[in-house]
Amino acid sequence: MAIFILERSVEPFMNFHIMTLFPEMIMGALSSSITGRASDKGYISFNAVNIRDYSNDNKHHKVDDYTYGGGAGMLMQAQPIYDCYLALKNSIEEKTDRKPRVIYVTPQGSVFNQKMASDFAKEDDLIFLCGHYEGVDERVLEEIVTDYVSIGDYVLTGGELPAMVMIDAISRLVPGVLNNDESAMTESFNNNLLEYPQYSRPEEWMGKKVPPILLSGDHKKVDEWRLEKSIERTKERRPDLYEKWLLENPPKPEKKKRRKKKTTQEAESVNLENLE
């Protein structure tokens, strides 16, 4: 049985377990770049398990079959997925005695967003189930799945890419994964605002100058400018997010101007006018 697991030095904050027919695809992508570095350093771990290894069919390791009632395509069968899940669940519960969440990546799920990513990032272990062919036998889904999640309203050939998208977004919220903790705090979608525009050297490029406020060294003014740009950008590019932000940040009512007390002379002249 081939279990793909990356080496690590300490107990990771988050263990990702992926049930898939293509473990090499998952491990190839996640072991590079930031997720790869984080797993080398031991902040996260990836454990991609081949569902085929749990097939009862010793000869062909079959994992799919025809759909009852007819219809095109093959369906992933319940048994190999369930046995694969049990093996993972038992190994997780030995360490934590907590039942792990199982995310089935499917276009029929709730659409993934930053809030879901931070919610999932609180778990110690997450199991992803990647479907293929025409889907998965409903009975095993009913038995094991806690969350049905999609990455958007389009259909991909399998669940591996969506699982990797979610794992990437969740990983970067795990402590230690990003070098600079701050960058996770200020980026797009925090408080429903998109990130402000950013500039690096040179100060002028193709006739375009860096906004002078960013060179001023006045941090308060820079923060105000960035917030203003974030709001502008969100309003223009993502009016749906802007509406949400507005609900949480309603404009402050303008302070009523206090009427200046009239001098006795002014009051007298008003009274005289009224008499006329």
Residues at the contact surface with ligand ADE, assessed by CB under 6 A: 105-107, 150-152, 154-156, 159, 162
- Tell me the sheet residues that pair with 136: 76
Q: Which is nearer to ligand ADE, 6 or 63 (CB)?
A: 63
Residue type, 2: A
Least Å distance, CB 141 to ligand ADE, is 13
Least Å distance, CB 132 to ligand ADE, is 9
Instruction: State the DSSP code for 134.
Output: T
Alpha-carbon distances, residue 123 vs 86, 100, 167, 241, 260 (angstroms): 19, 8, 12, 27, 60
Q: Which two tokens stand for residue 213?
A: 């406020």
Q: Which two tokens stand for residue 136?
A: 């998965």
Least Å distance, CB 138 to ligand ADE, is 16
Residue identified by tokens 């025809």 is: 66
Least Å distance, CB 57 to ligand ADE, is 25
Least Å distance, CB 106 to ligand ADE, is 5
Least Å distance, CB 157 to ligand ADE, is 7
Q: Give the number of residues written for the chain.
A: 276
Least Å distance, CB 170 to ligand ADE, is 15
- Tell me if the bond preceding 202 is cis, omega within 30° of 0: yes
Q: Which is nearer to ligand ADE, 152 or 211 (CB)?
A: 152
Least Å distance, CB 188 to ligand ADE, is 21
Q: Which is nearer to ligand ADE, 68 or 154 (CB)?
A: 154
CB 195 within 8 A of CB 63: no
Q: Which is nearer to ligand ADE, 165 or 214 (CB)?
A: 165
Instruction: State the DSSP code for 256.
Output: P
Instruction: State the DSSP code for 255.
Output: P
Q: Which is nearer to ligand ADE, 129 or 178 (CB)?
A: 129
Q: Which is nearer to ligand ADE, 105 or 177 (CB)?
A: 105
Q: Which is nearer to ligand ADE, 6 or 166 (CB)?
A: 166
CB 19 within 8 A of CB 85: yes
Residue 108, judged by CB atoms within 10 A of its CB (0-12, 13-18, 19+), counts as exposed
Q: Which is nearer to ligand ADE, 71 or 152 (CB)?
A: 152
Euclidean distance between CA atoms 26 and 21, whole angstroms: 10
- Report how far Cα 176 is from the mean position of its chain's Cα atoms: 17
Residue identified by tokens 């904050």 is: 13
